[in-house]
A and B are shown apart, each in its own frame.
Chain A
Amino acid sequence: MAFPLLTSASVTSRRRLAFLATLALGLALVLPSCEKLQEGVVNVIEFPEHEPRLAVTMFVSPGDTVVYATVYQSAGVTDTAGSAPLKHAAVALMQGSTVLAQGDSTNWADPDPWNSWYSGPLMKINLDEPLELQPGAIALVVDASPTFEPLVVTEEVPEEPVFDFLFEAYADSVDEGWGYVYYQHLVTLDLENRPGVRDDYMISIEVKEVFEGAQWSNMANPAFPDPRMEYNDACDCLLATDSGADNVSLANLVLESYAGSSDYPIEGEMRIRVRRPTDALANHLRSVDAYYGALDNPFSEPASIQGNIPDGFGIFGVTTEVVVPL
């Protein structure tokens, strides 16, 4: 008598069983993943609970008649409410014991429709006199208690920029043919490179056209690629720098300024405006451009907004400026 397991029928049956077992195992492995595979989602990343931080922004320059500021608290990326304004907060701009500007819950306003740096609520502090900044330290004091501890951000008022320039009206115009001329002025600018410190400059050549309600707007661009200077969207100006090196000349920066065309010439007042930002503000402006540039370019590394708010976000930016009519 043959052993039952060795008969041909039982071998076939065992093979079938093995096949079915393998099939069942395969299906057991594959089927639970099908829903996941359809969506392509591996996992939802859990974030630790976000601890809100103070976010403050304020830019000041001598001659300002209005000072804008925002005081918000940050929000976690998964928080649907988003970053919220702290309308109970008070801010003060101080030099020594002198209060240059201050605002509180009464100063919150919607942004000016034609001067909209920002779309959300902001503090708008109207000054009785144009702002005067003395050399030395300047402080932004923010009291958003009890939500946050009071905060003081201190910067040094930058020295006034020193520069020389040559303005050549329409010197960079281009005749496109058919009588069509593309007008451009040429400006050659010499800036100061102070030894031992980093020099950054915000440069603009501005035009205020003749129509009613016209605003000053920048028309300057580098005349050719120059590693010392680049256009910065964040300030709508040219940012020039010596990168902290004493042996980098900041002379002979060549700018061109659009002046319309033979069909639509731009007419109005012109001025050259040179501002000297604090180091933190210059870093901030570059980081803002990098941030938005990265959003538009899938090949870019992500960028973060640089600031100077301790344990928080944002920027207290100070500039000095010299404006010369052209």
Chain B
Amino acid sequence: MTPRFFLSLVAVLVSALASAQTSTRHTLSGYVTDAATGETLIGATVWAESVSQGVASNVYGFYTLTLPAGTYEVRVSYLGYTPQRFEADLTATDVKLNLELQPGLELGEAVVTGEKENRIEEQVQMSKIEVPIDQIKALPAIGGEVDLLKSLQLLPGVQSGGEGTSGLYVRGGSPDQNLMLLDGVPLYSVNHLFGFFSVFNADAVKNMSITKGGFPARFGGRLSSILEINMKDGNMREFHGDGNISIIASKLTLEGPIVKDKASFMLSARRTYLDLLLNPLIAAATSDDPTFDTDPAYYFYDLNGKLNWRVSDRDRIYLSAFSGFDDFGVRTSNQSTFDGVTNRSEVSFGLDWKNQIQALRWNHELGPRMFSNVSLTHSIYNFNTGVDFLDEVTENGETTASRFASLYRSGIEDYAAKVDVDFAPNSQHFIRFGGNVTRHKFSPGALQLELDFGQENPLDTLIGNGDLFSLENYLYVEDEIDVAENVTVNVGTHASMLAVEDTNYFSLQPRLALNWKLAPGLAFKASYANMVQYVNLLTNEGLSLPTDLWLPSTRNIRPQRSWQVAAGLATSVADGAVELSLEGYYKGMDGLLSYKEGGGFLADLEGNWESQVTQGIGNSYGMEALVQKKVGRTSGWIGYTLSWSNRQFDDLNSGEWFPFTYDRRHDVSVVLTQEFNDKWSGAVTWVYGTGRAVTLTESVFNGLTYGYPNAPAWEVPSDRNAYRLSPYHRMDVSLTRVKPGTDGNRALIFSAYNVYNNLNPFFALAETEADGTRVIREYGLFPIIPSIAWRFHF
């Protein structure tokens, strides 16, 4: 990216502004909302039919369409809503018009209405997929608990991690390379129950989309994907509630007006009751030994809340918050008496992690053609784990105790301020610009030790890494330009800076996307995106745990960088009911972070995490095909991905290239939802993926060591990730029965995870048999898991 490019971009914008001033044009602007709830609609199409020009409403539901003076027939449409037509008189003046669409969806229905004007071949943005929340809710869910991230794993180019886990591996990237924005605020850990569930509560979410490439300039900070999740704003008209009771957890969402059509709220809470179910079982299993007592506990909860206030016709304020918490603990105790002396020992182990965000956002219309949003946000993620050993000896009524305790803590905390401006000077340009300042505080792991053996000065000390602060800023500008009748481009740049320790990193990241309509209903799309990432998740390969450390780039750890080029075809058939896309991509990556051999969590408690890591390069490339039907009683999609993903680190695998652990040659997903009648609907998903790449011990040899007498033979690992676990395949089904009522709907959902009971590999283990022979076996986790859930709406 050269300064010349940046200057050229500025020149284009200036000419756009000049054009806006000199032409006789007027603007139609306003918000698009749900007529029933007053909820703003993201991505609704406002289309002037006679001139075939239109826009989509932004993330706050605001639209602005500037046209030459005249009268226009305008059509407004949105997936799942009844389209609306009206006449807009723009002959003399700008028109402000808030539009309301009638929803066409009922609980449990899978029938949706297509939006003809916002078809895939019309959009400049490529590599972006939106899945309607109602469609996600209709999919089979493990334990009856709908999981947004797991539904994304069914899309081409997005892969899952281990069995049942919600980690996302997008186009050969690692999970930390996904920017997960909840109401615009980054979430650093999205896992409940060690990754088997994500923190996103589907009942509290209005909209979700994932962008895998062709990133517009307004996005940055991660290499592989942008996941945007927006919470519901809250019903402006009536008080309503949604609830769900499954075998894993229950949740309740309430929303309603505080002042009708002026202010609303949304509050959603979810808690698991695994602890209530499992504790009695474990207690029963260990009840045979009266001297032994164990007390395990695990639970998670999350809370989503949002306040939405229309301060004036031009101003809105949103206050949103999220809090998620996981707590796992085990306490065991053992007591014995001998010769009048009672010995009691107790061991407690605990592990918890917490995620919280808060966001205050102010929308302001600077004019009919310009819309701004100012955000102040806070995000925090903390992880703690501790162990406490207590020994008590009681003799002649006197008790002496000794205790050892350790507590390990790590986390990340952000404070950020952000400004985004949308400006549509005319129908040929749509300009976005803005900036962001984020202050990161990293706590990369500190260990507190307490030791008390009755000595005069018990030990209480803190060792490990100190807090590390960094300041990350960016500016961006992008313009979506209709350069010719059939060609639209989005050109922009994202300039970012990180100040950490005594080091500053700068980058200018050019972005370009092209839509060339080859024929009616068929578009060629291409994109280029350069991305830089200043935060890293230090994790053991193939194992996502809350112990993973978030770390910044430092003077010794350079930022991660990528460049991605993608090209493909997009079309829709059957009057827009079926969309097809075919994309190829290549992504180069630099500055990837990995533990060195032998490195890992708790491997170096003396605080030098940088000495444990190494940096390298990587690439990923492949092809993705998607056929998606969003309209009709039968909907769903078929996705196929053919991909390669490789890594090279000087300190790993003798410096040779090796496959990334989630290098997956073939990935297939089939998703089908069917509405049988007004009462019954069903869904089936089937996934297939090439087996995970793993490193296995191949051979052993004996030899001298200095410091390890009597050491067993040394094991020699294979080349890194040289072996493959068995392919993964699974089918899930669900059947939903809806019972409409006068005061709301009730639905009973029967589902089965892994319905044909195929045990999929989760890990491999070398074992010695009774006869001395050694074998390496793949082990699986989940058999068929039937479940039932009850959902209600009032």
Which residues of B are found within 8 Å of A56, using beta-carbon distances? 703
Which residues of B are found within 8 Å of A120, using beta-carbon distances? 702
B759 at interface, CB cutoff 8 A: yes
With CB as the reference atom, state the residue of chain B lying closest to A236. B707
**What is the total of A-B residue contacts with beta carbons within 8 Å?**
216
B766 at interface, CB cutoff 8 A: yes
Q: Mark A40-55, 1 if CB is under 8 A from B, else 0.
A: 1111110100100101
A211 at interface, CB cutoff 8 A: no
Does A225 contact B608, Cβ atoms closer than 8 Å? yes
Query: Among the listed B594, B608, B778, which residue makes an inter-chain contact with A42, where contact means beta carbons less than 8 Å apart?
Result: B778
Which residues of B are found within 8 Å of A225, using beta-carbon distances? 606-608
A97 at interface, CB cutoff 8 A: no
| Known contacts A33-B783, A80-B773, A299-B600; is-contact A45 B778 (Cβ 8 Å) | yes
Does B603 contact A119, Cβ atoms closer than 8 Å? no
Which residues of B are found within 8 Å of A53, using beta-carbon distances? 699, 701
Q: Mark B703-717, 1 if CB is under 8 A from A, else 0.
A: 111111111011111
A247 at interface, CB cutoff 8 A: no
The 8 A-B pairs of least Cβ separation, nearest first, read A290-B598, A300-B600, A303-B598, A55-B701, A299-B601, A303-B597, A57-B703, A74-B701
| Known contacts A42-B726, A300-B598; is-contact A227 B611 (Cβ 8 Å) | yes
Which residues of A are found within 8 Å of B756, using beta-carbon distances? 29-30
With CB as the reference atom, state the residue of chain B lying closest to A37. B783
Which residues of B are found within 8 Å of A258, using beta-carbon distances? none
A297 at interface, CB cutoff 8 A: yes
| Known contacts A119-B709, A234-B707; is-contact A313 B701 (Cβ 8 Å) | yes
- 24 CB contacts below 8 A, A to B, read A40-B759, A43-B761, A44-B778, A55-B703, A56-B703, A70-B704, A74-B699, A74-B700, A77-B697, A79-B774, A82-B713, A118-B702, A118-B709, A233-B707, A233-B708, A234-B708, A294-B598, A297-B602, A299-B603, A301-B541, A301-B599, A302-B598, A303-B598, A314-B703
In the bound complex, CA of A12 to CA of B192 (Å): 46
Most A C-beta atoms less than 10 A away, residue of B457, B598, B695, B711: B598
B349 at interface, CB cutoff 8 A: no
A293 at interface, CB cutoff 8 A: yes
Which residues of B are found within 8 Å of A314, using beta-carbon distances? 701, 703
Number of interface residues of A (CB under 8 A): 70
Query: Among the listed B594, B595, B606, B775, which residue makes an inter-chain contact with A78, where contact means beta carbons less than 8 Å apart?
Result: B775
In the bound complex, CA of A96 to CA of B594 (Å): 43
Number of interface residues of B (CB under 8 A): 68
In the bound complex, CA of A36 to CA of B710 (Å): 38
Given contacts A42-B777, A236-B706, A294-B603, 15 further A-B contacts (CB under 8 A): A44-B777, A53-B699, A72-B703, A75-B701, A80-B772, A117-B709, A227-B608, A285-B706, A290-B597, A300-B540, A301-B541, A301-B595, A301-B599, A303-B598, A313-B714
Which residues of A are found within 8 Å of B779, using beta-carbon distances? 40-42
Does B703 contact A287, Cβ atoms closer than 8 Å? no
In the bound complex, CA of A116 to CA of B706 (Å): 9
| Known contacts A78-B773, A78-B774; is-contact A301 B596 (Cβ 8 Å) | yes
User: Which parts of B561-605 form the interface with A (CB within 8 Å)?
Assistant: 594-603
Main secondary structure of the interface of A (DSSP, over half): mixed
With CB as the reference atom, state the residue of chain B lying closest to A26. B755
B758 at interface, CB cutoff 8 A: yes
| Known contacts A44-B775, A289-B598; is-contact A30 B702 (Cβ 8 Å) | no
Which residues of A are found within 8 Å of B759, using beta-carbon distances? 33, 36-37, 40-42
Residues of B at the A interface (CB closer than 8 Å) are 455-457, 540-541, 543, 545, 547, 594-603, 606-608, 611, 695-711, 713-717, 723, 725-726, 755-761, 764, 766, 772-781, 783-784
A315 at interface, CB cutoff 8 A: yes
A83 at interface, CB cutoff 8 A: yes
Query: Among the listed A37, A43, A304, A315, which residue makes an inter-chain contact with B597, where contact means beta carbons less than 8 Å apart?
Result: A304
Does B715 contact A77, Cβ atoms closer than 8 Å? yes
User: Which parts of A234-288 form the interface with B (CB within 8 Å)?
Assistant: 234-236, 285, 287-288
Query: Among the listed A177, A285, A299, A313, which residue makes an inter-chain contact with B716, where contact means beta carbons less than 8 Å apart?
Result: A313
Which residues of A are found within 8 Å of B710, using beta-carbon distances? 116, 118-119
Q: Mark A101-135, 1 if CB is under 8 A from B, else 0.
A: 00000000000000011111010000000000000
Does A305 contact B757, Cβ atoms closer than 8 Å? no
Most B C-beta atoms less than 10 A away, residue of A59, A79, A82, A301: A301
Query: Among the listed B543, B697, B705, which residue makes an inter-chain contact with A117, where contact means beta carbons less than 8 Å apart?
Result: B705
Does A83 contact B701, Cβ atoms closer than 8 Å? yes
A232 at interface, CB cutoff 8 A: yes
A68 at interface, CB cutoff 8 A: yes
| Known contacts A30-B757, A297-B603, A299-B547; is-contact A45 B764 (Cβ 8 Å) | yes
Most A C-beta atoms less than 10 A away, residue of B545, B706, B775: B706
With CB as the reference atom, state the residue of chain B lying closest to A288. B705
Q: Mark A204-233, 1 if CB is under 8 A from B, else 0.
A: 000000000000000000000101000011
Which residues of A are found within 8 Å of B606, using beta-carbon distances? 225
In the bound complex, CA of A77 to CA of B21 (Å): 77
Query: Among the listed B603, B696, B774, B778, which residue makes an inter-chain contact with A80, where contact means beta carbons less than 8 Å apart?
Result: B774
Minimum CB–CB distance from A130 to chain B (whole Å) comes to 20
Does B456 contact A177, Cβ atoms closer than 8 Å? yes
Minimum CB–CB distance from A239 to chain B (whole Å) comes to 11
Which residues of A are found within 8 Å of B761, using beta-carbon distances? 42-43
In the bound complex, CA of A322 to CA of B698 (Å): 40
| Known contacts A47-B698, A232-B707; is-contact A294 B597 (Cβ 8 Å) | yes
In the bound complex, CA of A233 to CA of B717 (Å): 22
Which residues of A are found within 8 Å of B599, using beta-carbon distances? 290, 300-301
In the bound complex, CA of A59 to CA of B697 (Å): 26
Which residues of B are found within 8 Å of A79, using beta-carbon distances? 774
With CB as the reference atom, state the residue of chain B lying closest to A313. B701
Which residues of A are found within 8 Å of B711, using beta-carbon distances? 118-119, 292
Minimum CB–CB distance from A253 to chain B (whole Å) comes to 15
In the bound complex, CA of A56 to CA of B455 (Å): 50
A170 at interface, CB cutoff 8 A: no
Which residues of A are found within 8 Å of B715, using beta-carbon distances? 77
User: Which parts of A9-61 form the interface with B (CB within 8 Å)?
Assistant: 29-30, 33, 36-37, 40-45, 47, 50, 53, 55-59
Query: Among the listed B455, B547, B706, B757, which residue makes an inter-chain contact with A29, where contact means beta carbons less than 8 Å apart?
Result: B757
A62 at interface, CB cutoff 8 A: no
Which residues of A are found within 8 Å of B607, using beta-carbon distances? 225
In the bound complex, CA of A47 to CA of B700 (Å): 14
A3 at interface, CB cutoff 8 A: no
Does B776 contact A41, Cβ atoms closer than 8 Å? no
Does B702 contact A292, Cβ atoms closer than 8 Å? no
Which residues of B are found within 8 Å of A44, using beta-carbon distances? 775-778
Query: Among the listed B543, B706, B774, which residue makes an inter-chain contact with A234, where contact means beta carbons less than 8 Å apart?
Result: B706
With CB as the reference atom, state the residue of chain A lying closest to B545. A299
In the bound complex, CA of A304 to CA of B701 (Å): 12
Does A313 contact B703, Cβ atoms closer than 8 Å? yes
With CB as the reference atom, state the residue of chain B lying closest to A51. B699
Minimum CB–CB distance from B663 to chain A (whole Å) comes to 17
Which residues of B are found within 8 Å of A82, using beta-carbon distances? 700, 702, 713
Minimum CB–CB distance from B574 to chain A (whole Å) comes to 32
Does B704 contact A118, Cβ atoms closer than 8 Å? yes
In the bound complex, CA of A176 to CA of B774 (Å): 52
Which residues of B are found within 8 Å of A292, using beta-carbon distances? 708, 711
Does A50 contact B698, Cβ atoms closer than 8 Å? yes
Which residues of A are found within 8 Å of B595, using beta-carbon distances? 300-301
Does A122 contact B716, Cβ atoms closer than 8 Å? no
In the bound complex, CA of A227 to CA of B715 (Å): 29
In the bound complex, CA of A299 to CA of B547 (Å): 9
Does B698 contact A117, Cβ atoms closer than 8 Å? no
With CB as the reference atom, state the residue of chain B lying closest to A55. B701
Which residues of B are found within 8 Å of A45, using beta-carbon distances? 696, 723, 764, 775-778
With CB as the reference atom, state the residue of chain A lying closest to B607. A225
Most B C-beta atoms less than 10 A away, residue of A42, A57, A58, A299: A42
With CB as the reference atom, state the residue of chain A lying closest to B547. A299
Minimum CB–CB distance from A248 to chain B (whole Å) comes to 12
In the bound complex, CA of A79 to CA of B766 (Å): 12
Which residues of A are found within 8 Å of B456, using beta-carbon distances? 176-178
